[in-house]
Amino acid sequence: MAEEKEDEINRLNLELSRLKAVLSANKTELEKLQEEVGILKAEKFTLLKDKEILSDENTKLKTNISQLQSEKTELQKRIQSLEAEIGRPKLLPEQLTTSLRDAISKMEEGLKTEGRVDYTIGSFDAEIKVALSVGDENKIFIKLPYIGEAVTPENLSLIKFSLKSIPKPRIPLIKVPLLIGMSKDSAVKIIQDMGLKTELQERQSRTPPGTVIDQKPEAYTEVAPETIITIIVAIPEKVKVPNLINMDKEIAIKIIKEFDLEVGKVESKLSEVAPNTVISQSPLPDTEVERRSSVNLVVSVHGVKVPNLKSMKESEAKEIIVKVNLNIGTITYKGTLFGDDVVISQSPEPESEVLPGSAINLTIAKKLSFQEIKDTVKSHPEAKSYAVLLDTSFTALEKLGIDKAEGLRDILQIPDDELMKNLGLKKKTEVATLKRLMKLVFEELER
């Protein structure tokens, strides 16, 4: 029992010592923990302090932020107003004056009246409130407030313009002269010499063409230099030519006169239609012509047959011409060897049909005298170098009694030797030359 107790005591002692050991360990642990608590408490205190500081700073910062935000808004406003200022239209002083000039001229335009009285701007005073600013190159710009913009009048500058009109010098007036009745050229010269201008207009009138019949403005009106004076000049009145074709000549002439026209040339033309009928006219019907201009007519007529007058005596031929209602035309005389005073040719030819009264030209043969034949031979172009031969020959012929034209023709038949002897020529060639020349002249005379 005792042993059991002892064992129990020992076990309990052991337990006690273990517990003591545990207790001592826990004690140490507790001490450590207590120490840690102390540290943590100190830390907590520090942290609380820090927190306090931070919350103070937070409050301060919040205040700062709100201040900065309000500053930002201010700045934004300023930026906006500055941007608006930059975009604000601005003018150079000269642009302002140009604008005013435009405005004044527009006002003058508005003042123009069609009425009795004219108005003009006597003076123009402008007091313009502007804001001035200096731009690039130190140029001054003029700015104006926006519509409805709140402005502080003290900040605005005042520009005063005062403009006065200068009356134009009065231009001396010119009295328009009376030009009616003058010739166009004199009127124009007078007008131009006076420093005026002319404009010509034409009007049909019975007044002689080229005469001034009206003028605008009227005579004695006072006008400014360079004013255009309109001169109205007469031009002949125009008439339509009537149709006269197929009318009797006398009636046509009457109508022409009734139309204030004149009868021009009246020609006859061979035609089948009744005599004295108008077969054509010039100008043609309906042509517009000046008053009193001539109208030419062609009238029909029946023709006359030309008689054959050849070989008739001149007086006989002339008598026949007159008898058949024709006229004697040119009479030409042609020297011949034979046949005196007879018609050798006529124009127009026999049997042709001509207008009554047409001229008939006649060629009448005229017998040449010995002397005339001699002169003709001597004056022949080929006879120039044979003057001596011809003189000798004609003298010899006269001596031989051959002094008539008829006889001369016969010498061509005389043999050369005989002729040479009779005429006292020395060479045969002379006879040949003489015969050749005589033949040439005779042939020409007989042609």
**Interface ranges with other proteins (CB under 8 A):** 88-91, 95-96, 99-100, 102-104, 106-129, 143-153, 156, 167, 170-171, 173, 216-217, 221-224, 227
Distance CA 366, CA 358 (A): 25
Joined tokens for residue 91: 């003018």
CB closer to other proteins, 88 vs 313 = 88
Between 113 and 413, whose beta carbon lies closer to other proteins? 113
144 SS3 class:
coil
Tokens of 163: 């403009």
Peptide bond into 348 cis (omega under 30): yes
- When the beta carbons of 88 and 409 are compared against other proteins, the nearer one is 88
CB of 74: closest distance to other proteins in angstroms?
20
Contact 304, 354 (CB under 8 A): yes
**Nearer to other proteins by C-beta: 1 or 117?**
117
Residue 160 beta carbon to other proteins: minimum distance, rounded to whole angstroms: 9
| Comparison of 113 and 315: residue with beta carbon closer to other proteins | 113
Query: Smallest distance from the beta carbon of 223 to other proteins, in angstroms?
Result: 5
Q: How many CB atoms lie within 10 A of CB 370?
A: 17
d(CA 412, CA 396): 15
Q: For residues 142 and 312, which CB has a smaller minimum distance to other proteins in the complex?
A: 142
243: helix, coil or strand? Answer: coil
Cβ contact 408:439 at 8 Å: no
- CA dist., res. 447 & res. 445, Å (int): 6
Measured CA to CA, the distance from residue 173 to residue 194 in angstroms comes to 11
Shortest distance, position 145 Cβ to other proteins, whole Å: 6
Residue 203 Cβ, how far from other proteins at the closest point, in Å?
Answer: 17
Q: Are 261 and 232 in contact (CB under 8 A)?
A: no
213-227 b/e with 16+ CB inside 10 Å = b? Answer: bebeeeeeeeeeeeb
Report the run of H or E that residue 83 belongs to, with start and end. Answer: helix 2-87
Cβ distance to other proteins smaller for residue 208 or 225? 225
What is the spatial distance between Cα 221 and Cα 177, in angstroms, rounded to a whole number? Answer: 8
Residue whose CB is less far from other proteins, 98 or 352: 98
* Closer to other proteins by Cβ: residue 170 or 447: 170
Closest CA to 258 of 272, 244, 277: 244
Q: For the CB of residue 185, give the shortest distance to other proteins in the complex, in Å.
A: 25
Dig out the tokens for 310 from the structure. 């050849």
Q: What is the DSSP string of 324-393?
A: TT-EEEEEEEEEESS--SBEEEEESPTT-EE-TT-EEEEEEEEEPPHHHHHHHHHHSGGGGGGHHHHHHH
- 123 vs 385, which CB is nearer to other proteins? 123
Minimal distance, residue 213 CB to other proteins, in Å: 17
147 phi, psi to nearest 5 deg: -65, 130
Q: What does the alpha-carbon distance between residue 212 and residue 199 come to, in Å, rounded to a whole number?
A: 12
Angle at the Cα of 267 from the Cα atoms of 263 and 272, rounded to 5 degrees: 125
Q: How many CB atoms lie within 10 A of CB 309?
A: 20
Is 214 or 316 the residue whose CB approaches other proteins more closely? 214
CA dist 143 and 26 (Å) reads 93
- Shortest CB 75 distance to other proteins, Å: 21
Residue pointed to by tokens 């937070």: 58
